[in-house]
Amino acid sequence: MSFRKDRKIGLVIRAVRQVRGKLVFNLMLRHQMSENLPPSLPTDLFGGHFRSFRKDPTGFLTKLSGLGDVTQFRMGPQQAFFINDPEYIRDLLVVSADKFIKGRALQRAKTLLGNGLLTSEGKFHLRQRRMIQPAFHKSRIEEYARVMVEYGDRLSETWHDGEIRDIDREMMRLTLQIVGKTLFGADITDEADDVGRAMTTLVEMFNYMLLPFAELLEKLPLPQTRRLNRARETLNSIIFQFIDERRREPADDRSDLLSMLLTARDEDDGGSMSDEQVRDEALTLFLAGHETTANALTWTWYLLSQNPEAADRLYEEVANLNRSPRFEDAGSLKFTEAVLAESMRLFPPAWAIGRLSVAEHSFGPFLIPKGSLVLVSPFVMHRDPRFWPDLEQFRPERWFEKSVKEAGQSFSYFPFSSGVRRCIGESFAWTEGILLIATLARKWKLELVQGQKIGLQPMITLRPKYGMKMKLTKLS
């Protein structure tokens, strides 16, 4: 009798649980309907979607985009929204930009970069941008172009027919030398490896700093914290040394960026930058000026190696120059420009852009509460089948059908962001990318070595996960 009694009690308890479960589900459904929340993916066991996002950021956001143009996810306690519609992206970055500030990622980056252009906000950011903008005028970039080609030719002379090189490292070293010369007016070839390692540490530590409780972890004597501090000390030592030398021995004929930062005056208040602020801006430009272009070039060589017809057309275009490229050639090397544009469509160096809402805002029918993280992703938008036919194919010819400017105005293509936070060095990057591709492709063909694995490593930029070993073939 006791067994039957226990069994009946068990059945009653199970029925009560089922009813309670249905009630809870219905209440949650009604809550979502009343709140009109965007769709989402199933959460992880702990931390919302934090683990899924960290494991495969681009894959996670791509899955979210399949649920709608506005979706939601949760990074631990942080409520987040993913926007994947050109009009909503335009609203976020341009129309309603005053309702948003940089996201947690770049706020945390202040620990590394200080209060430079990438991390500063509001009126201070606009002031700094006004003061730095003249360094990127056309006449200045024309001077920088000579440096770009010179260092590209130098690298070309060190290569040998048939050898295998780590092209990702080669491009990092090359763009680091160029930014060192254009930013500091100094040849940092001898220091490039040390500086490169310090820069790589900063990039690698960026993800570490986004971990929950990273602010507390930074204060502990952990190996990661020590690495971060050593890298920061290395870069500070080099930059402050350049600043000190320039302060003591100013020269009117210097045209490098550091000289312009030290002599810049705000047109409104006549103020100048302190050494600490110059350091922040210099380090920001130092990192952004080589990291993004190096990755864009690495992915470009990979894509050319996988698409021989496009590569042959590129080699033919640059061979027709019959000389080293010049600044004025950047505008006439149309297929080379299309190759770079298509590379940044498929593998945009700045693969995600985050903003934090400082006021409520609506994207379509969905209300975004104050304090929410809002993400957009050039990587996902650039591969959206609604806007990009043959989206997985490397097809530079598409840029003769739709120009970069037109795609940018439609907000289906934004590798350099947009609005008041648009990359200040965009024209520098386009010029550098085109001229370096042309310089190296005049003499060398790059082929992916057999067995080279290809994967994405989305950090602060989109790096190749397994490097990029390529075989060099001398062109006659």
List, for residues 276-299, the tens digit of each pLDDT value: 998 898 888 888 888 999 999 999
Would you say 133 and 420 are in contact if contact means Cβ atoms under 8 Å apart? Answer: no
What is the widest separation between alpha-carbon atoms in the chain? 103
CATH number of the domain where residue 170 is located: 1.10.630.10
Query: Is 31 domain-assigned?
Result: no
* Interatomic CA distance for residues 79 and 73, integer angstroms: 6
Query: Is 457 domain-assigned?
Result: yes
Amino acid 342 reads E
Residue 369 pLDDT > 90: yes
Query: Is 4 domain-assigned?
Result: no
Query: Is 57 domain-assigned?
Result: no
Q: Check the CA dihedral 290-291-294-300 and report its sign.
A: negative
Query: Is 54 domain-assigned?
Result: no
Query: Is 349 domain-assigned?
Result: yes
Q: Tokens for 140?
A: 């200045």
Q: Tokens for 55?
A: 């494991």
Tell me how many domains the chain contains. Answer: 1
Query: Is 370 domain-assigned?
Result: yes
**pTM for this structure?**
0.88
How large is the average pLDDT for residues 129-138?
Answer: 89
Would you say 147 and 431 are in contact if contact means Cβ atoms under 8 Å apart? Answer: no
Would you say 289 and 174 are in contact if contact means Cβ atoms under 8 Å apart? Answer: no
How large is the average pLDDT for residues 198-211?
Answer: 72
Cα–Cα distance list, 355 to 96, 98, 118, 421 (Å): 11, 11, 12, 11
Would you say 246 and 211 are in contact if contact means Cβ atoms under 8 Å apart? Answer: no
Would you say 421 and 117 are in contact if contact means Cβ atoms under 8 Å apart? Answer: no
Using one digit for the tens of pLDDT, what is the confidence trace for 322-351?
899 999 999 999 999 999 999 999 999 999
Using one digit for the tens of pLDDT, what is the confidence trace for 148-186?
999 999 999 999 999 999 999 999 999 999 998 988 888
Sequence-distant (6+) residues with CB within 8 A of 10 are: none
pLDDT score for 33:
40
Containing structural domain, residue 315: 85-112+127-474
Cα–Cα distance list, 172 to 32, 251, 257, 322, 356 (Å): 47, 30, 20, 27, 31
Sequence-distant (6+) residues with CB within 8 A of 27 are: none
Q: Tokens for 206?
A: 């960026």
Q: What torsion, rounded to 10 degrees, do the Cα atoms 83, 89, 93, 94 define?
A: -150
Query: Is 192 domain-assigned?
Result: yes
